[in-house]
Structure 1
Amino acid sequence: MGNKPIRIGNQASEHIQNDVYGQAMIDLLPLFTDYRFRHQNKGLASQWTRFVLQKMELTIDEKDAGIWEFRNMEKRHCYSNLFQWAGATTALKIARQYSLEEISIQANSKRERAIEHIESCYDDQRKAYTNAQDNTDLDAFTLQLIMMGYLNPNSTKAKDHLVQLEKVLKGEHDLFYRYLHKDDFGRPKSTFLVCSFWYV
């Protein structure tokens, strides 16, 4: 409508987001666990599972920009390690189906490492998971700890965590803020729709 200037692109190409390897592993699961293709998939399952696990090995201890692509706030985000946990859990399922013992050991090792990082985000006093290690900020993405099955939804830990998120991040009309701490653009003033779906 004649508005200028028009910006093309953003800084996303510069961001490190280490959850992607777990996301990729999860996407491979239906292909590699479909028994109809078991025999033709064995080589590919071994090759690709090993490849993604190696990427996770290189990044599991690394700080990143997180799901919200913070520009100047690299941290070891709970979200990134949650998806590395999920990816390693997926790799373990694939390895067990094809009796890939070495990959099974690697996957279990990555899974345990991811758990260490996730648990380092737990705030004992508030009984809630923070957005990153050595941080006190709460973030709606930690709702996915329950959605992804890391926390048992019926557990006291999951219920306590949910109560804290409701107390801090739930706005009007049951809509959720992503977070309320100051970011690169200041303090958030509006809710974020996808977080409300996670809450539901």
Structure 2
Amino acid sequence: MIDSLPGYAGSRPVRVGNLADQQVQLDVFGPVVELVAHLAQATGRVRDVDWQLVTAMASAVSQRWFEPDHGIWEERDVPRHHVYSKVMCWVTLDRAVKIAEAYGREADPSWVPLRDQISQDVVKNGWHPDVQAFTTAYEGSDLDAASLHVGLSGLIDPSDERFQATVTAIEAELRSGSTVYRYRRDDGLPGDEGGFHLCAAWLIESYLLIGRRTEAEELFQQIVDTAGPTGLLSEEYDPIAERSLGNHPQAYSHLGLIRCAQLLSA
């Protein structure tokens, strides 16, 4: 850390480097295998090199899904059993099985029972009745916008009352006007951060899945309005000061917005 210098708008601490290379993030496999599934659907085939990647990632999940990790947000804290990470492990196996079925590839016979085991594990340990939501991790009652993927991924049906309750809980605790915070818990860093446009996009998609189209359209327009004259979105948005924060422009903010635009226009 550089103690003698402040960051943007007085932000501290100023860090050199990134500890992510020393962390475990078990969520990373799911989005990659899902991308291969989308690519196969678009091209009508699965290349050998892509299938090799899928099988390697499914194998990694099989060996490590039960471990705690640092989660999607790379928190500088002790590893936990993050709901989002478990869901992405499930996605890895679920999409691998579906790719094999659709394109004549040979799936490992262990994938289906393990996929079902992970699903049961998430439903049993990720749902907290006292909070009426799927929480950040098996340990604790704090909320995280990433847990919306329990329904967004298809692990549970969007009509499931537990997913609808999770949407309501995250909306109540993490949404602030045009943005949605990743979480509200103490992450060991001083000060407050803004909401994440990507998290707002997840909430829009969740609204659509549970039949709340009006709220989805309203939040979508609010995100668009934060772009300003450049038409570009930052990583975060401060709803109090009404200013952009974080990386600018941020690719995944735009990807989230584009996906929501596609869903709303369907």
TM-score, length of structure 2 as denominator length: 0.64
Q: How many residues align?
A: 193
Q: 1:153 to 1:51 in 2, by over 3 A?
A: same
Q: 1:57 to 1:72 in 2, by over 3 A?
A: same
User: Mapping of 1:159-178 within 5 angstroms?
Assistant: 159-171=164-176, 173-178=177-182
Distance 1:45 1:190 in 2: 37
Residues 68-119 of structure 1 deviation map (CA, whole Å, 9 limit, x = unaligned): 101123101111111111111101112223455552x222133123213322
Distance 2:67 2:192 in 1: 26
2:159 maps to which of 154, 161, 164: 154
User: Mapping of 1:18-167 within 5 angstroms?
Assistant: 18-32=26-40, 36-37=44-45, 41=47, 44=49, 47-100=52-105, 102-103=107-108, 105-119=109-123, 120-167=125-172
1:153 CA drift (Å): 2.7
Q: 1:46 to 1:199 in 2, by over 3 A?
A: closer
TM-score, length of structure 1 as denominator length: 0.82
1:195 aligns with 2:199: yes
Amino acid in structure 2 at the alignment position of 1:130: T
**Partners of 2:119 and 2:155 within 8 A in 1:** no
1:15 CA drift (Å): 1.3
1:128 CA drift (Å): 0.7
1:67 CA drift (Å): 0.6
1:23 CA drift (Å): 2.0
1:189 CA drift (Å): 5.0
Higher helix share: 1
Q: 1:101 to 1:154 in 2, by over 3 A?
A: same
Residues 109-167 of structure 1 deviation map (CA, whole Å, 9 limit, x = unaligned): 33123213322110123321011112211111112223222233333222211111122
Distance 1:152 1:190 in 2: 31
Higher strand share: 2
Distance 1:59 1:67 in 2: 16
Bigger mean CA offset, 29-38 vs 15-24: 29-38
**Partners of 1:63 and 1:76 within 8 A in 2:** yes
Unmatched runs of 5 consecutive residues or more in structure 1 = none
Bigger mean CA offset, 116-125 vs 93-102: 93-102
**Partners of 2:96 and 2:107 within 8 A in 1:** no
Amino acid in structure 1 at the alignment position of 2:136: N
Q: 1:101 to 1:133 in 2, by over 3 A?
A: same
Q: 1:16 to 1:59 in 2, by over 3 A?
A: same
1:174 CA drift (Å): 4.1
Distance 1:196 1:188 in 2: 18
**Superposition RMSD in Å:** 2.6
1:25 CA drift (Å): 1.4
Pick 1 or 2: higher relative contact order, CA cutoff 8 A, min separation 6.
1
